[in-house]
Amino acid sequence: MIIGGAAMLSAAVLLSSCEEFTPVFTGKYPTPEQWEPVTMEPTHTIAQLAEMYEVNNPFEIEDDIIIAGKVITSDQSGNFYRSLYIQDETGGIELKIGKTGLYNEFKLGQTVYVKCKGLWLGMYGYKTPGDYGGGNGMVQLGMNDPTEEYETSYMEVQYLIDQHIFRGEEGEQVEPVVVAENALPGIDDTQATNEYVGSYVTLKGLTYANEIFTLLYINSAGMDTDLSQNRVFLSVDDGEEPTNFGITTWAMSEQNVKRHLEAGDWDDVLVGNANDQNYGTVADHKDEMMLHASPGNVSQYFTMPGGTEVQVRTSGYSRFADLEIDPEVLAGNATIDVTGVLTMYQGSIQFVVLDQNGIHVNE
């Protein structure tokens, strides 16, 4: 009886173990379709297309407009998401394609043609100029946003993508242009007025400003992120002493956000928008923030030799989010050169590197 019981137990374990494995696929995968690069004749440059946009007036393109440019971004490191930038001799523009893993289809340096008819031309990041800054953002191509929250939305259906986005010949990666400080865009510039907006460039000699900006949420999943009582701004107002709130990395993964919360680095920060901070401090909501923590995008502020401010913007989902900024840079004893895409947000320069190789510390 003992032998029989052991045999039954072994059989049961074997059966249970076998059921834990996923069945092996023994069929044949379909053969991928042969890809043939296309060639089209552009009707407009990117600057000419951007010139058609008027602030606060997104519109559907009704003419048979074709633009072309070389791919200058990659989402492989996670610092670009569901979009890519292409660049011609007049500037660059974001295509809101709405897919991940774009680097598999769209290689750096590859020519891409865009049939613009039926797409929407809009701007992201505009703010009316006033006492606290403001100015233009980035002219971009996408679809109509039915929520009207943004001026453009994503081409999320593959059929729509295939109707508008066409892959041309692969080529060498675009060489970045070193941009002098006096050639940088101002608050009213777009791709139509400054060739470096949306382009792949290098900025040299940036000094750390010991200042950051990031927006965190009490609960990003269960509450409206537009509600003032759900928002925590780590930033300082003009005239206040600059601080980086203890954030010495380029961005913050979820684990990094939790580490700062546990350390109490932000306990005294008020919850709410600048004109509505009536919801206590981070310390009052720490348990909920720990429970619902998510990665934090961070703008680390730097200054050019002549004083121009540049925000190096990094996604909390990027593979190098928790990379520590060189201590000598943090101390102001060393400068950095950055290579990536120069963008505009509310009239200020935001710079996005493709990956950590776009950051060079000057010894």
Q: Write down the pLDDT at residue 59.
A: 98
Same domain (yes/no): 207, 344: yes
Residues 125 and 218 both lie in one domain: no
**How many Å separate Cα 74 from the centre of its chain?**
11
In a domain, 336, yes or no: yes
The secondary structure of residue 102, as a DSSP letter, is G
Computed on alpha carbons and rounded to an integer, the radius of gyration of the chain in Å comes to 24
Contact 113, 42 (CB under 8 A): yes
Q: Are residues 162 and 206 in the same domain?
A: no
Per-residue model confidence as pLDDT tens for the chain (363 residues): 444 554 444 444 444 344 444 444 455 556 556 679 999 999 999 999 999 999 999 999 999 999 999 999 999 999 999 999 999 999 999 999 999 999 999 999 999 999 999 999 999 999 999 877 899 999 999 999 999 999 999 999 999 999 999 999 999 999 999 999 999 999 999 999 999 999 999 999 999 999 999 999 999 998 999 999 999 999 998 889 999 999 999 999 999 999 999 999 999 999 999 899 999 999 999 999 999 999 999 999 999 999 999 999 999 999 999 999 999 999 999 999 999 999 999 999 999 999 999 999 998
- Going by C-alpha positions, the residue among 176, 155, 139 that lies closest to residue 58 is 139
Does 262 lie in the same domain as 217? yes
In this structure, are 236 and 143 located in the same domain? no
Domain's final residue, options 159, 175, 191 = 175
Would 186 be classed as within a structural domain? no
Count of domains for the chain: 2
Strands 177-178 and 200-217: parallel
Q: Are residues 285 and 165 in the same domain?
A: no
160 and 276 both lie in a single domain? no
Residues 246 and 166 occupy one common structural domain: no
Same domain, 264 and 145: no
94, 85 contact by CB (below 8 A): yes
pLDDT of residue 35: 76
Alpha helices in 20-81 (DSSP H): 46-51
In-domain check, residue 134: yes
State whether 217 and 335 are in the same domain.
yes
Residues 113 and 67 in one domain: yes
Residue 9: predicted pLDDT: 41
**Domain region containing 334:** 200-362
